[in-house]
Structure 1
Amino acid sequence: MDKMTNDTQMADRIVRYGALKPCKTAFIDAHTPGSDRKENFTIIGGGVSESPDQHVHITLPHGFNIGAAGQPPNCRNSLHSHRTAEVFFVLSGRWRFFWGRWGDAGEVVLEKGDIFNIPTGIFRGFENIGDDYGMIMAVLGGDDAGGGVIWAPQVIEDARDHGLILSEEGKLYDSKQGEHLPEGISPMPLLSEDELRAFPEPGTRDVVPGYVARYWDLHALADRTPALVIGENGVLRDKPGFEVGLLTRGSSTEEMHRHDRPSVLMPVTGHWNVVWAGNDSYSAGETVLAPGDTMSVPEGLDHTAYPSMSGDAALYHVVATGDAPGATWTE
């Protein structure tokens, strides 16, 4: 394979915050009051959007998906569940996460940089409780993100009352746009009471200690060496199919390293120089990442990242491990 030019070799693997393309009709609650102003972003992988309007920035498989949710104040994402891991960190704003069949089993408030490894198999939702537009970044386990979203029954019922119907195939139809379920296609069935009983209802004290990590605690841990945040031996011990680490100014280095799988860099604070060496496929080069930017680093490519300016600087690093995609909540 010929080396690509320095102008194009990484361009398709870097998504700038300002270039993110939102979808406002990604999910079944797109018309439901209180949820109708949210924006969904699919950055890496196919994601779990139910709308053909969703733009995917990087389609290369990584073993996980990267997405984001942007919401104005008092806007919420409705109760849902996934079959694989779902990890959020706050890029901006102040967010309340809640969970349980009706969203009242437990809750936690997260600030900038805080991270939440939401237990697989429980209904969860979130809302922006800050004063400004906020953004949370998400990592979903697996290349196919677990086959879609499982909605709490009331979400599907509310959506139907506002013109949106989800088919059994997971595709949205908007009656406000004159759309209807095709002949022979049934609506997504509601979960039965027996099925709903299989979704746990852990309380706040059960979830927060083992699944939530605060930014400044992690920042202190990563002062001298990078901190493994989520992983078998991480601060949040789990094997969701990927590892998440935190790198800060104090633990950054100009020494290069490589991974045998694609990895992803996601700054939380500060501006970061990313430098990579040349090989048979890529010319040597460098770029600067800012908060909200996302960069996919090819497998086997020597690279490094370190702050380019003074002040607080931290970035999350994600790499697949090939483990099972997340453990289901157990008592």
Structure 2
Amino acid sequence: MTPQEIESRIVRYGDLRPCRTAFIDAHTPGSDQKENFTIIGGGVSESPDQHVHIGIPHGFNIGAAGQPPKCRNSMHNHRTAEVFFILSGRWRFFWGEHGDAGEVILEEGDIFNIPTNIFRGFENIGTDYGMIMAVLGGDDAGGGVIWAPHVIEDAKAHGLILGENGKLYDSKKGETLPDGVSPMPLLTQAELDKVDCPSAMQVIGGYVRRYLDMVALAEDAPVKVIGETGIIRDKPGFEIDFITRACASDEMHKHDRPSVLMPVKGHWRVDYQGGSATLAPGDTMSVPEGLMHRAVPSMTGEAALYHIIATDDAAGATWQG
């Protein structure tokens, strides 16, 4: 492939186009300063204003959320896997219908494979604008977001209504539900009773991995973070590897499906048939299937990246209870 073709598959951090009306809590105080980014695939945005940077199917979606201090994402649920790693800042993740069932604090480089069928939310508890990168299972990411009932009610009080078609309508802009479209129904108590509510020990022990622990494990070989044989044993429809300077290989290789490189520390040079490109933290590169390539640190100092590739496993439930 030509350098121009490859560059079209790289989304630079500085070129990310945010959407500030992506979800139903976009007007709700405390959540109204969020910026959502859809990097690869359509994601689960409820807004027609959301820009998709790369539409090529990968078997998963890549997105990001940027938030200033004290800004939070409201309680929601997904039908497929949702994995976050911290690019910058300090973040609190919490779960349960009202966010009071458990919590964990994550720092830069940490990764969290959030199980399906639990309500989850997160907030930036750092002192500066922070960014978290996300991987969602499946090309259609499960068809959308399931919101806790109080989130839908709070949003309505601030002018946003979610239709049963999964689209947002903003009364502040004079929008109303189209004829034949009803509001998204609230979950019934019977449906809420079927949502899992695991303990902090269950979630943190099984689904959270710390950056420094992974660095220590990556002395000799890349760390399989999420996968059937991973340090998080799961099959959500994709695998994630963690690679550092210590275990980066000079050997050219290829995959039979598109893969994604996402640096979290340092600069990386990606050599491929036809040229090379340099990636920095926050950049996302889609590597075409069948393309011989390698990724190696291009500068001195700390260097780490995440590598994501789809598997043939269904992008289904991860929580094992």
Give the superposed CA RMSD: 0.8
Quote the residue 2:264 is aligned against.
Answer: 268
Deviations 1:254-297 (A, max 9, x none): 211111110000000000000012xxxxxx11010000000000
Match of 1:248 in 2: 244
Residue 300 (structure 2) aligned to one of 282, 288, 310? 310
Task: Report the Cα distance in structure 2 between the residues aligned to 1:254 and 1:21, rounded to whole angstroms.
Answer: 33
Counterpart of 1:325 in structure 2 is 315
State the Cα deviation string for residues 2-24 of structure 1 (Å, max 9, x = none): xx543x21121000000000000
Aligned residue pairs total 321
Q: Is the 8 A contact 1:238 1:327 kept in 2?
A: no
Is the 2:235–2:318 contact (alpha carbons within 8 Å) kept by the matching residues of 1?
no
Cα distance in 2, alignment partners of residues 52 and 230 from structure 1: 32
Identity %: 73
TM-score by length of structure 1 reads: 0.96
Which of 81, 87, 91 aligns to 1:91? It is 87
- The worse-fitting range, judged by mean Cα deviation, of 218-227 and 239-248 is 218-227
Matched, 1:172 2:159: no
Of 36, 57, 64, which aligns to 1:61?
57
Aligned to 2:21: 25
Instruction: From the superposition, tell whether residues 30 and 321 of structure 1 become closer, same or farther in structure 2 (CA, over 3 Å).
Output: same
* Separation in structure 1 between the aligned mates of residue 204 and residue 316 of structure 2, nearest angstrom: 17
Deviates more, 1:98-107 or 1:135-144: 98-107
Counterparts of 2:320 and 2:134, CA distance in 1: 23
| Equivalent residue letter for 2:263 | P
1:194 paired with 2:184, answer: no
* Structure 1 unaligned residues grouped into runs of 5+: 278-283
2:233 to 237, 249, 254: 237
The gaps in structure 2 that reach 5 residues or longer are none
TM-score under structure 2 normalisation?
A: 0.99
CA distance in 2, matches of 1:183, 1:20: 35
1:299 maps to 2:289: yes
Mapped to 2, the partners of 1:211 and 1:239 lie a distance apart of 13
Matched, 1:115 2:111: yes
Given that residues 159 and 170 in structure 2 are in contact (C-alpha distance below 8 angstroms), is that contact kept between their aligned partners in structure 1? yes
Q: Answer whether contact 2:234 2:318 (CA < 8 A) is retained.
A: no
For residues 135-162 of structure 1, the C-alpha deviation after alignment (integer angstroms, 9 at most, x for no partner) is 0000000000000000000000000000
1:128 counterpart letter in structure 2: N
Q: Which aligned pairs between 1:67-78 and structure 2 lie closer than 5 A?
A: 67-78=63-74
How far, CA to CA, are the matches of 2:75 and 2:199 in structure 1?
16
> Mapping of 1:136-147 within 5 angstroms?
136-147=132-143
Aligned to 2:35: 39
Conservation of the 8 A alpha-carbon contact between 2:266 and 2:301? yes
Q: Name the CA distance, whole Å, in 2 between partners of 1:300 and 1:107.
A: 41
Partners of 2:166 and 2:206 lie apart in 1 by: 32
Which 4+ runs in 1 deviate beyond 6 A? none
* Structure 2 counterpart SS, 1:244: strand
Could you give the per-residue CA deviations for residues 34-82 of structure 1, whole angstroms, max 9, x where no partner exists?
A: 0000000000001000000000000000000000000000000000000
